[in-house]
Structure 1
Amino acid sequence: MTVPLTAPAAALVGDMAQGSDEERAWRRRTVAPSDIAAITGTSPFQTIGELRRSRLGDDRREPLRRSDQAGLGQPRQPMLEEWFIQRFPQYRAHTTGYWFSTERDWQRVQPRRALIAADRADGPAPLLAALTFHTTPKTLTDAGWGPDGSTQIPADRYDQHQ
């Protein structure tokens, strides 16, 4: 069942093919949460200079510094969604596309899943939260996932999710 999603300060743009001219143009004129780490200088993946060049139309990117991790979690997203919903049955998850802020049209987000109330049967459903996925090549332990093995959230991830 497809449920139209609504959000008080955001509008759904929809899906765009990754790497398409439309998607590259959209990315050039907007800022995503993952860009914040480059802007603040905490990203291990991209400098502010690289971000600036991509916004000016130079789409030729240098290879990822940690290319072994690119797309690592994509195949796991359905399993992670199921894990989340089993633990939080008050939500229902929907795969979603790009959104932009209606207050700041330069601000975009592409959450992996939009969360709505599980008891929502039909009609427009207010988006309650977004569910995103981040994976790591190492198994997480009680020690944590910080840069030094601590429970400290890595600075780039903290910047991205504020």
Structure 2
Amino acid sequence: MSTESITSHPYAAPEGVLLGHFTPGSTAWDEVRNGLCITATEIAAVVGLSPWMSRFTLWHKKSGLNVAPFEMTPAIEWGNRLEDAVAAKWQDEHPGLLAAPAGTWRNREREWQRATPDRLVYPQPEGEFEIPDRADSLLEVKTSPMGDDWGPDGADDGVPVWYRCQVMWQMDALGLRRTDFGVLISGHDYREYVVEYDEGEAKILRDAAVKFLDEVRAGKRPPIDGADDTYRTIRVQPDGFDDVDVEIPAEDAARYENAQAASKAAVLELTAAKGVVLDHIGTGKRAVVGERRIAYRIPKPDGTTKSLNPYKTSKEAA
């Protein structure tokens, strides 16, 4: 049976209520995710572990204030395009199980706890074509340009903490106790991981979400942090321009001026450090310390250097 034609049974999750199947980015999609609720993709921001959204930004979003508009990056676009292909690979590796589109759910008792898993996993014994009413577990599909954040294939602690928060929230919302991951790294490195439900972790996340929503209702804004996402949120708050002077606290002015000076000094130090490393590399490609790769050189056609890049954050294939 083709998974494209399957929609989740409304009673597939013992503790979940199916809200529907919505197109990401549509008005209906936004309606079930906005307001005083926390979704699985937001819970890592609540506890300060998301690499994409700060607690500050999420607070503004839930308060109905301006946040920077969503930007479709190439990584997000190709992650969406490849989701079905990676899910199909996981399906091939697990005969006897059927991964079906999940839809958007809320917890039966906690209406503010929302989740949109990638797939619900059903047992499908050989020769049977009817899908059971209740799912066994969840499947989460991910793609990554590099494997820096992921452990070895099958490692118990191989899933990045922000994705662990996401699936722990999903399991807690739906009442399921296992999530499988199918992950494609660098376009060719396929890996699998399993995360089991942990009541202690789930309670920590639930308690943090309740506290966060209380702060939204009370208008208690989180402190400004150093995340780029927070700065983008602050930038979109003004809705006009007045050519006036605004008095600010002296300590905030000093902090800004000192940071500017430190930033300039850091730029100079980084340039000097890059020069030293590049001088060591010479005509080579990589700078290493023992087995640890530090940086790599990209040459121009004439052999001179185009750039020196830190190895850990590069997109160079290992």
Q: Same fold (TM over 0.5)?
A: yes
Q: By how many angstroms is 1:46 displaced? A: 0.6
What is the 5 A alignment of 1:11-50?
11-28=17-34, 29-50=36-57
- In 1, the alpha carbon distance for the partners of 2:13 and 2:70 equals 36
Higher fraction of helix = 2
Q: By how many angstroms is 1:37 displaced? A: 1.1
* 1:55-98: CA deviation from partner (whole Å, max 9, x where unpaired): 1223542566x944223311112221221112111211211310
Q: TM-score, normalised by structure 1?
A: 0.79
Select the residue among 125, 130, 154 that pairs with 2:133: 125
Q: By how many angstroms is 1:44 displaced? A: 1.2
* 1:32-69: CA deviation from partner (whole Å, max 9, x where unpaired): 122111111111111111111111223542566x9442
- Contact in 2 for aligned 1:95/1:112 (Cα 8 Å): yes
Is residue 64 of structure 2 the alignment partner of residue 61 of structure 1? no
- In 2, the alpha carbon distance for the partners of 1:69 and 1:100 equals 28
Q: By how many angstroms is 1:123 displaced? A: 6.6
- In 1, the alpha carbon distance for the partners of 2:8 and 2:49 equals 36
Judging changes above 3 Å, is the alpha-carbon distance between structure 1 residues 54 and 36 closer, same or farther for their aligned structure 2 residues?
same
- In 2, the alpha carbon distance for the partners of 1:130 and 1:152 equals 17
Q: By how many angstroms is 1:8 displaced? A: 1.0
Is residue 98 of structure 2 the alignment partner of residue 96 of structure 1? no
- In 2, the alpha carbon distance for the partners of 1:9 and 1:118 equals 22
- In 1, the alpha carbon distance for the partners of 2:66 and 2:100 equals 31
Is residue 80 of structure 2 the alignment partner of residue 74 of structure 1? yes
CA RMSD of aligned residues (A): 2.7
Judging changes above 3 Å, is the alpha-carbon distance between structure 1 residues 7 and 49 closer, same or farther for their aligned structure 2 residues?
same
Select the residue among 147, 150, 153 that pairs with 1:145: 150
- In 2, the alpha carbon distance for the partners of 1:95 and 1:105 equals 21
Q: Which runs of 5+ in 1 are unaligned?
A: none
- Contact in 2 for aligned 1:113/1:130 (Cα 8 Å): yes
Corresponding pairs, count:
154
Query: Secondary structure of 1:41's match?
Result: coil
Judging changes above 3 Å, is the alpha-carbon distance between structure 1 residues 161 and 88 closer, same or farther for their aligned structure 2 residues?
same
- Contact in 2 for aligned 1:3/1:122 (Cα 8 Å): no
- In 2, the alpha carbon distance for the partners of 1:159 and 1:15 equals 23
Identity %: 23
Judging changes above 3 Å, is the alpha-carbon distance between structure 1 residues 102 and 62 closer, same or farther for their aligned structure 2 residues?
same
Which has the bigger relative contact order, CA under 8 A and spacing at least 6? 1
* 1:93-150: CA deviation from partner (whole Å, max 9, x where unpaired): 2113101110211111111111111135337521111111121112x4xx8626xxxx
Q: Which runs of 5+ in 2 are unaligned?
A: 152-156, 169-318
The more displaced of 78-87 and 40-49 is: 78-87
Q: TM-score, normalised by structure 2?
A: 0.43
